[in-house]
Amino acid sequence: MFKSYKLDAVIRLITSFLYRIILILFGIFILLVSKNSFSFWSYATIFISYAVFFIILFKKRNWLSKFRLLNDYLFILFVLWNKELTILTYPFLLLPIFNSPNHTGEKRSFLTYIFTTLILIFILRNKFEIIDVVPLFFILIIELFEKIRTRLLRFSSSLYNEIDNFYLKKLNLKKSHLIYAEIIERLNNSRFKFFFTTKIIMCFKLKNSKFSIMNSSIFAWNYSIKIDSEKIKELENERLLSNLPIEINFKTYSVNFYIPIKVENEMYVFVYIVEDLKIWSICKFYVSWYLKPLLSKIAVVLRVEKELRDDRDNYIKKMKDKMYYVNNATLAMHFLRNKFSPIKNYLEMIEKEERFGKEKKDQYSEILKKELSRVKTSVKEILDRTNLILEKSENPFIVNQLSEVSLKKVVDICRKIWYDFFDHDSIIFQWKDIDETKKSYNLNEDGLEILITDITENLHKYQDGIFKLRFTEDNDSYFVTFENNVKNYDSLNIDLEKMALDFMSDDNIEINKRTTHGMSMIKSFLNQMKIEYKLSIENRIFLFKLIFNK
Amino acid sequence: MKIAIFENEYQQIEAAFEAMNLLYFDNKLEFSVFPSSQNFGPLENLQNYDIAIVDIDLSQNSQLDGYALLKKIENLEKKPKILVLTGSSKVESTLQEKKLPKYDVLLKPVDFSEIHKSLDKMFKK
């Protein structure tokens, strides 16, 4: 895999080489236009020596790279020997500082300032004027700010990486609170720890002026935030606030930051509880500019987590309904078993009535009569319970909620399920205006997925090397056709052509329910969603066509 | 012969027991029916019975279900023979899971002939 830092290293080496050529050419130019102290051959020796040392030290890293810098300054010193500071010589002296961002080390070397100052002192040794050092001073100030900015950026970047690694490598979704421990450790061990020491990070959701805890670096079994409505309004307007008392686990913390982050319609408020707060204004700048984007990232993850949780809750609710239904059906089976005892016993008693002697007949008849009455009650109870189970509205497997599903979504569902069984080559797509169409249908997405899965599973089970999913159309309709040849067509126990005819007929739905459970379920789903369909067998190819009107 | 029956829906099988008692035992079997575990009183008194028939699903207000009752009976010094009565076909695996012995099981729905066969087998043990 290509690594960007390798490219950066190559660019730095090329820049280093070019910089030295510029330095040599600049030096030659200064010697040509100035009065010089040494002979031509002396300068020639210096230039050659400089080039040779540079080649020797080229590519050297760590402390040897400092000798490369020293080599540069010795060269500059000889070129500027006994020359005055002019508009030509000053930039020549400052060249190494301008080049310092290209140094191979990550940290910029302050040696450039030391060497430059030393040479400057040497040049100005006889006639020092403050104006001569002003440019160097300003460059130093700019460099200082630039250095702080770079460090902050590097620090933020390292925190971003920490978060990325946390979520991506460790797959720590739903354990977001664990990231705070790592952030706190980084913050408290960074160069910026002199701003403040972070003790606790908490995240709250702010809704209807109420704070509800999302997560925290400590387990907050009790918390209380008592701030007035004005402050809440400021937070809602995403204004950073500070030092608003917060009580956690019955301990009050007064030194803190409230950092509001809005993600879509959700408002999250991160509370940084700190100590040793040094300079508030700098801290505010630091928190606003560097920590806020970082926390935004966590807030986005929290938002995604919430959506996942909502999806899961919906799924569990659906599952719960189904489990309840199945459980109820199972209990009903137990109930029925109990209620069948009198019926079973009554039949047994009738069957064996004649086998026993006359002396017991009267007593036997009495028992039989009592059992008959019990049988009648049992039959009624069995019928009541079966009616309850068969009540359609209580069946969660029935598609009873329809919503608008776009044609594109239909394609997406069909294709996604098809890919679970077959590859892309078996899909033939011939819809021409799919990009423009905004056509949608009243369907149930879950129902459609179950339906397509059922059809595709059947197709996969019975196919024998020929299988296609075709999206075709005519002037009036869009067609989605599932087609396959059939394994062991001639030796099948089922008459497929009759089955196809039965499937298309509404005259024997109830009979088919008992014999072809899978197909009758497909038919039931199609009817519930009012999807037109056609099942046929042509040249031994099984064709299942779904029809969507244009 | 005394038989303790722990069953909350005895009326469903009452006629079957009566017919069996009449036809095969000349009404000599004595049945005592307990819809819940606490109706019986001290379980030590089970030593006065030859057989205990235990339904797994006892009444809702029963302190013990059939499995818990069987465990208690297993801990008794003197215990009757046990016949488990149930509507669940998974009872044998559950008994095994709960580390209970492999009892004779009578699966509902039942008729008098089946009850007779089970009891007859137990008497011969």
Summarised one tens digit per residue, pLDDT across range A479-516 is 999 999 888 877 777 777 878 887 887 765 555 555 56
What average pLDDT score do residues A460-471 get?
A: 89
Indicate the residue type of B7. E
Question: Rg of chain B's alpha carbons, rounded to an integer?
Answer: 14
User: Do A303 and A248 have their domain in common?
Assistant: yes
pLDDT at A433: 75
| β-bridge mates for residue A83, sequence order | none
Q: Band of the pLDDT at A105, cuts 50, 70, 90?
A: low
User: Do A379 and A435 have their domain in common?
Assistant: no
Q: Where are the beta strands (DSSP E) in A291-393?
A: none
**Inter-chain contact B9–A338, Cβ cutoff 8 Å?**
yes
The length of chain B, given as a count of residues:
125
pLDDT at A280: 63
Residue A97 belongs to some domain of the structure: yes
Indicate the residue type of A22. I
Regarding predicted confidence, which is higher, A119 or A358?
A: A119
What would the pLDDT profile of A287-326 be if each residue is shown by its tens digit? 766 777 778 888 888 888 778 878 877 787 777 777 777 7
Question: Is residue A529 pLDDT above 80, yes or no?
Answer: yes
pLDDT at A498: 79
User: Do A409 and A387 have their domain in common?
Assistant: no
Residue A168 belongs to some domain of the structure: no
Indicate the residue type of A471. F
C-alpha torsion angle, residues B17, B19, B23, B27 (rounded to 10):
60
Domains and CATH numbers, chain B: 2-124 (3.40.50.2300)
pLDDT at A197: 82
- The backbone torsions φ and ψ at residue A365, rounded to the nearest 5 degrees and listed phi first, read -65, -35
Q: Is the dihedral of CA A370, A375, A378, A379 positive or negative?
A: negative
Question: Is residue A278 pLDDT above 70, yes or no?
Answer: no
The verdict on B12 touching A (C-beta cutoff 8 Å) is yes
User: Do A339 and A376 have their domain in common?
Assistant: yes
Residues of A in contact with B12 (CB under 8 A): 338-339, 341-342, 374, 378
User: Do A208 and A294 have their domain in common?
Assistant: yes
Whole-angstrom distance, CA of residue A140 vs CA of residue A113: 8
Interface test with B, best of A359, A367, A371 (most B CBs within 10 A): A367
**Mode of pairing for the β-strands spanning B30-34 and A197-207:** unpaired
Whole-angstrom distance, CA of residue A107 vs CA of residue A146: 12
| pLDDT < 50 regions, chain B | none
Instruction: Please give the share of chain A, as a percent, with pLDDT higher than 90.
Output: 20
Residue A429 belongs to some domain of the structure: yes
Question: Is residue A1 pLDDT above 50, yes or no?
Answer: no
Indicate the residue type of A102. N
**Inter-chain contact B87–A337, Cβ cutoff 8 Å?**
yes
Q: Where are the beta strands (DSSP E) in A57-163?
A: none
Residue A187 belongs to some domain of the structure: yes
The chain B residue lying nearest A352, using CA atoms, is B113
The verdict on A530 touching B (C-beta cutoff 8 Å) is no
Residue A419 belongs to some domain of the structure: yes
Q: For residue B15, what are the contacts with CB-CB under 8 A and spacing of at least 6?
A: A342, A345, A346, A349, A367, A368, A370, A371, A374, B112
Looking at residue A200, the DSSP 8-state letter turns out to be E
User: Do A121 and A30 have their domain in common?
Assistant: yes
Q: Among A231, A195, A232, A188, which Cα is nearest to A210's?
A: A232
Q: What is the DSSP string of B24-39?
A: HHTT--EEEEESSGGG
What average pLDDT score do residues A44-50 get?
A: 93
**Inter-chain contact A338–B109, Cβ cutoff 8 Å?**
yes
The verdict on B117 touching A (C-beta cutoff 8 Å) is no
Looking at residue A287, the DSSP 8-state letter turns out to be I
Judge whether B102 and B95 are in contact, CB under 8 Å.
Answer: yes
What would the pLDDT profile of B38-73 be if each residue is shown by its tens digit? 888 898 999 999 999 999 887 777 888 889 999 999
pLDDT at A396: 64
User: Do A495 and A408 have their domain in common?
Assistant: yes
Q: What is the pTM of this model?
A: 0.48
**Inter-chain contact A370–B22, Cβ cutoff 8 Å?**
no
pLDDT at A340: 93
The length of chain A, given as a count of residues:
550
User: Do A43 and A103 have their domain in common?
Assistant: yes
User: Do A496 and A541 have their domain in common?
Assistant: yes
User: Do A303 and A436 have their domain in common?
Assistant: no
Q: Band of the pLDDT at A2, cuts 50, 70, 90?
A: very low
Regarding predicted confidence, which is higher, B48 or A356?
A: B48
Whole-angstrom distance, CA of residue A519 vs CA of residue A513: 8
CB environment A335-354: b (16+ within 10 A), e (fewer): ebbbbbbbbbbbebbeeeee
Where does a domain end: A394, A411, A428? A394
User: Chain A to chain B, count of Cβ pairs less than 8 Å apart?
Assistant: 70
Nearest-Cα distance to chain B for A318, in Å, is 27
Whole-angstrom distance, CA of residue A485 vs CA of residue A541: 5
Query: Which candidate from B15, B57, B88 shows the least CB-CB separation from A367?
Result: B15
When the pLDDT of each residue in chain A is averaged and rounded to a whole number, the result is 82
Question: Is residue A56 pLDDT above 80, yes or no?
Answer: yes
Whole-angstrom distance, CA of residue A280 vs CA of residue A108: 29
Residue A357 belongs to some domain of the structure: yes
Whole-angstrom distance, CA of residue A294 vs CA of residue B3: 76
**Inter-chain contact B13–A341, Cβ cutoff 8 Å?**
yes
Whole-angstrom distance, CA of residue B101 vs CA of residue B125: 16
Q: Where are the beta strands (DSSP E) in A78-219?
A: 197-207, 210-216
User: Do A38 and A61 have their domain in common?
Assistant: yes
Indicate the residue type of A414. C
Structure tokens at A340: 């069948």
User: Do A335 and A368 have their domain in common?
Assistant: yes
Whole-angstrom distance, CA of residue A325 vs CA of residue A396: 7
Where does a domain end: A351, A373, A394? A394
**Inter-chain contact A370–B15, Cβ cutoff 8 Å?**
yes
| β-bridge mates for residue A205, sequence order | A212, A268
Residue A155 belongs to some domain of the structure: no
Interface pTM, i.e. ipTM: 0.93
**Mode of pairing for the β-strands spanning A467-473 and A427-429:** parallel
User: Burial level of A8, CB count in 10 A (0-12/13-18/19+)?
Assistant: exposed
Indicate the residue type of A395. N
Judge whether A444 and A389 are in contact, CB under 8 Å.
Answer: no
Judge whether A184 and A274 are in contact, CB under 8 Å.
Answer: no
Residues of A in contact with B88 (CB under 8 A): 334
Whole-angstrom distance, CA of residue B112 vs CA of residue A235: 78
Q: A343 — alpha (psi -120 to 50), left (phi > 0) or beta?
A: alpha
Residue A156 belongs to some domain of the structure: no
Lowest mean pLDDT among A146-160, A190-204, A216-230, A406-420: A146-160
pLDDT at B6: 93
The verdict on A341 touching B (C-beta cutoff 8 Å) is yes
Where does a domain end: A341, A370, A394? A394
Whole-angstrom distance, CA of residue B119 vs CA of residue B31: 13
Q: Band of the pLDDT at A62, cuts 50, 70, 90?
A: confident
Nearest-Cα distance to chain B for A351, in Å, is 11
**Inter-chain contact B109–A343, Cβ cutoff 8 Å?**
yes
Nearest 5°: the CA angle A536, A541, A544 is: 40
Domain count, chain A: 4
Which structural domain, as residue segments, surrounds residue A114?
Answer: 4-128
Lowest mean pLDDT among A54-58, A187-191, A223-227: A187-191
CATH of residue A454's domain is: 3.30.565.10
